[in-house]
Structure 1
């Protein structure tokens, strides 16, 4: 009985964490929409139908309207994004729509320039690692050396194609070591906004 209760609790925790991540991503997307940098579908990689499905669950109607879904078309991923999405989907939890959605979101946000956790609007790298371990467990488990996540994804894609990103016999001897394994530091977007307000 107790074990069954524990399972239910962890499923509830998983849902709450998923909602938290989704809220972070959508907040970043809304910033980009309001700044005229992207559409809601362009910022998230999700279709209009998918956004219509997830938005009302976590956002009031006013916020949903701000995404201007009537005016946007579905996203068209380029080849690089398609490959990354395919990698994530190949490791997604079976029959879990949330994992499929996160595969699309992560692939789209990975095309941005910051660390992936920042691109997703998360507070830190630990949140990203938890997200990947939850929804793409076999992929996340392979990152045994704690490589930066974007680098790790691209390394996996290269391996699948029979290429190597580095000619050094081991990662420790590679000139690009810092880029692959250095600290993923930086402010979260939220902290940056708060600090900006504090400086005004």
Structure 2
């Protein structure tokens, strides 16, 4: 059985390479909070952060095993940053699966650098987790799916929660419910002084459906979550 088939991701817990990836929820997690827009509120914010990291790392392992990327290329994080995340939040036996001793830090292209800059500008001041997620999101946004799928999340609401938590002012500006990847790129264009579309209003733009349509789809970890073989 391949290592990838051993991944099992559930709500809050995953098993990768025969060991558990868990964000270790430690208290009641299902009370509702108006401030989170109906999302289940977790007592410890770190619980949700580690859930997101588990999803991202599972996607990274998928790409590593497919020979598509190294751990740093899949996440946008440096070798040191990845090692710190793994040793702080995940079992030590998981580290070898990412072959960190064999990788170099990722090369950052212009597009990714601009996305990083946008996110870092709006990140929570002095919060290392927000800076880390800025790098991860900027790298995963270069993939071809909806951004929540690129990150390995279960649905769009998880991405909305992540952005509202770590980039609150940036997330709050998406009042029209634009697709998150489109929204980030529109903010880049705005910063550069031009528009993605020359139409006088969004609804008149030929890209309207692409920008504001449904972000439905299957999580890239859905077969893993359900325990389905990946043949």
Q: What TM-score, normalized to structure 2?
A: 0.79
2:188 aligned residue (150, 157, 181): 157
Does 2:137 correspond to 1:121? no
Residue 3 of structure 1 corresponds to which residue in structure 2? none
Does 2:89 correspond to 1:58? yes
Unmatched 5+ residue regions in structure 1?
A: 1-9
Distance 1:122 1:43 in 2: 15
Residue 143 of structure 2 corresponds to which residue in structure 1? 112
Q: Equivalent residue of 1:197, what SS? A: coil
Residue 131 of structure 2 corresponds to which residue in structure 1? 100
Residue 5 of structure 1 corresponds to which residue in structure 2? none
The 8 Å contact of residues 23 and 58 in structure 1, kept in 2 or not, is answered as no
Residue 203 of structure 2 corresponds to which residue in structure 1? 172
Residue 81 of structure 1 corresponds to which residue in structure 2? 112
Q: 1:199 to 1:137 in 2, by over 3 A?
A: closer
* More strand as a share of residues: 2
Q: Equivalent residue of 1:88, what SS? A: helix
Does 2:19 correspond to 1:14? no
The 8 Å contact of residues 155 and 165 in structure 1, kept in 2 or not, is answered as yes
1:138 aligned residue (166, 169, 185): 169
Listed as ranges, the matches of 1:20-35 within 5 Å are 20-35=51-66
> How many equivalent pairs are there?
192
Unmatched 5+ residue regions in structure 2?
A: 1-40
Q: Equivalent residue of 2:154, what SS? A: coil
* Alpha-carbon displacement from aligned partner over 1:66-97 (angstroms, at most 9, x marks no partner): 00000000011100000000000000000000
The 8 Å contact of residues 171 and 177 in structure 1, kept in 2 or not, is answered as yes
Deviation (angstroms), 1:56: 2.0
* More helix as a share of residues: 1
Q: 1:79 to 1:199 in 2, by over 3 A?
A: closer
